[in-house]
Amino acid sequence: MSRDDHDHSAGGRLLPASNAAVGALIRLGAAPRACRELLVRGRRSGRLTARPVNVLVVDGRRYLVSPRGSTQWVRNVRAGGEVFLRRGRRVDPVDLIELDDEQKPDLLRAYLDRWGWQVSAFVDGLTASSTDAEFAAAAPHFPVFECAPRHRP
């Protein structure tokens, strides 16, 4: 089974419960500062689904990295539709702009520097100290999106 098959393939049965617990903390505003719930409309169901994510800030810009690869939330984002980031009572509409593979290595390194301990089971041995060549080779497997505020019409 590849990382693309299921959101929780490497996380086992505990991942849904963990996501629910982290999501509850995010909705209460009690999770670590960079944690948000990503709300994205399902491409088949049309319902908003929620997933906890870590928002990476580099040079004042916000990014979402999918260390588990092309998961359901990534496929839903790619299909278009509404996307929101929630923390506490605040729900911000955002546009997610997928980055090209050439733009990813430094962001992947920064993400692993901050959250490598949390996602080590999903990143095929990459660490913040991996070589530039290793990051370049891995980039196609890890979707990265820039978060831009969506301006309401």
To the nearest whole number, what is the mean pLDDT of the chain?
A: 85
Q: CB 112: neighbour CB atoms within 10 A? A: 23
Contact (CB, 8 A) for 26 and 33: no
Domain holding 66: CATH number?
2.30.110.10
Instruction: Give the count of domains, the chain.
Output: 1
pTM above 0.85, yes or no: no
Does residue 125 lie within any of the structural domains? yes
**Is the per-residue pLDDT at 25 higher than 50?**
yes
Containing structural domain, residue 59: 14-149
Q: DSSP assignment, residue 44?
A: T
Task: Provide the pLDDT for residue 21.
Answer: 62
Does residue 7 lie within any of the structural domains? no
**Is the per-residue pLDDT at 26 higher than 80?**
no
Task: Provide the pLDDT for residue 34.
Answer: 82
Q: For residue 34, what are the β-bridge partners? A: none
pLDDT in tens, 97-151: 999 999 999 999 999 999 998 898 888 899 999 999 999 999 999 999 999 988 7
Contact (CB, 8 A) for 34 and 113: no
